[in-house]
Amino acid sequence: MFVNNSQAQVFHANSEVREFDLHCEWSTLNEVVQLLQYHGPCSAEMHKPIFRRRRVRAGQTLFLMGQAFSGLYLIRHGNMKTAITHAEGSEHVMSFSMQGDVLGAEGVCQQHYGCQCSALLDCEVIRLPVDDSFFNDHSDDGVGRLLYWTISREVSRQQLAYAITHAAKSEIRVARFLIEQSERHATLGHSAKRFTLPMTRRDIGSYLNVTLETVSRALSSLNQLQIIDVANREIVIHSLDQLQAYEG
């Protein structure tokens, strides 16, 4: 949660690449717990800087599909997408992640990442190591439990995504997608009614399993019904009730 002036400039106004890339800071367990919104027991050593941070700029990848597992990544800020790449080369978006989300949970059991993760905007992530030495160091302070709680939450998230993308009609899928985005923004303390989408129509379509044109049409349709206001990636939800009632 701490950023000094020069870093902020580097990060947002895109000068000083070298400083950006070589930059390295550390996060505390306290920050991790807050980002995760975890309310379980934890160790007393909450303020030791033990978790390494890493920056990923828009368009760059955090890890690739099949790459050796090197721990979980927790998003400190920024937006990312995860996707699987099919044999034919086509990419399929699995999820859109934001602050507090964890990436790479499938790697714990497989030794390698099962999907590709790339940044939609400039991001900063915190690496959560998941290896023997880490466990030995934290055998009785609750950190282990935090980890499997975190992985379990990923299962829940995926179930939700599954439900969203399995609606009958494309307009309902888009409506649910907007509701999901709205709720997630609200959870982070931002406006539930007004936000900017960080991804392209193509990405949304890939996520919802429809074409980008269908996404565009669905948004235009919701716009004409006065339920939302769309201007490129700027979304204003006029009636969340109507959006939710849209199901049938």
Partner DNA sequence: CGGAGAATTGATATGTCTCAACACTTGTGG
Partner DNA sequence: CCACAAGTGTTGAGACATATCAATTCTCCG
Residues forming the site for DNA (CB under 7 A):
9-10, 13, 168-171, 200-202, 209-217, 219-220, 230, 232-233
Residue 182 binds which one of DNA, a copy of itself, none, with CB within 5 to 8 A depending on kind? none
Output the smallest distance, CB 104 to DNA, in A. 25
Residue 214 binds which one of a copy of itself, DNA, none, with CB within 5 to 8 A depending on kind? DNA
Nearer to DNA, 13 or 109 (CB): 13
Residue 228 binds which one of a copy of itself, DNA, none, with CB within 5 to 8 A depending on kind? none
Residues that bind a copy of itself (CB under 8 A): 84, 86-88, 92, 94, 105-110, 114-115, 135, 139-140, 144-145, 147-156, 158-159, 161-163, 165-166, 209, 247-248
Residue 170 binds which one of a copy of itself, DNA, none, with CB within 5 to 8 A depending on kind? DNA
Output the smallest distance, CB 226 to DNA, in A. 14
Residue 248 binds which one of DNA, a copy of itself, none, with CB within 5 to 8 A depending on kind? a copy of itself
Complete DSSP assignment for the chain: ----HHHHHHHHH---HHHHHH---EEEHHHHHHHHT--S---S-TTSEEEEEEEE-TT-EEE-TTPBP--EEEEEES-EEEEEE-TTS-EEEEEEE-TT-EE-TTHHHHSB-SSEEEESS-EEEEEE--SHHHHHHTTTSSHHHHHHHHHHHHHHHHHHHHHHHT-SSHHHHHHHHHHHHHHHHHHTTS-SSEEE--S-HHHHHHHHTS-HHHHHHHHHHHHHTTSEEEETTEEEES-HHHHHHTT-
Query: What is the sign of the dihedral through the CA atoms of 233, 4, 45 and 73?
Result: positive
Output the smallest distance, CB 190 to DNA, in A. 20
Nearer to DNA, 9 or 110 (CB): 9
Residue 48 binds which one of DNA, a copy of itself, none, with CB within 5 to 8 A depending on kind? none
Output the smallest distance, CB 216 to a copy of itself, in A. 19
Nearer to a copy of itself, 22 or 88 (CB): 88
Residues in Cβ contact with 77 at an 8 Å cutoff, skipping those fewer than 6 apart: 99, 123, 124
